[in-house]
Amino acid sequence: MTLTTSKILEDVTNHMNNLIVQHEKLHKSIDEASDTFTDEQMTEMKKRKLRAKDEIERMKNSLSVYTTKD
């Protein structure tokens, strides 16, 4: 594996991990503090959570092409 490939894999892994952490934090915030946020704030947090989840799934699907064995 070349240094460039290794760096790309590290960057992808870091990005995926950051998305997962972001999704988990938003999930926790939404569950625990729904009474302290306005409807608009809750809607925005739910949208951000959904965007994070969608991006995680897109990355998983894209990476499955490279990791799936025939």
- Taking only the tens place, the pLDDT of each residue in 7-42 is 888 899 999 999 999 999 999 999 988 788 899 999
Least confident of 9-13, 22-26, 50-54, 55-59: 9-13
List Cβ neighbours of 45 (8 Å cut-off, separation of 6 or more): 26, 29, 30, 37
Answering whether pTM is above 0.85, one says no
d(CA 59, CA 29): 24
- For residue 67, pLDDT beyond 80: no
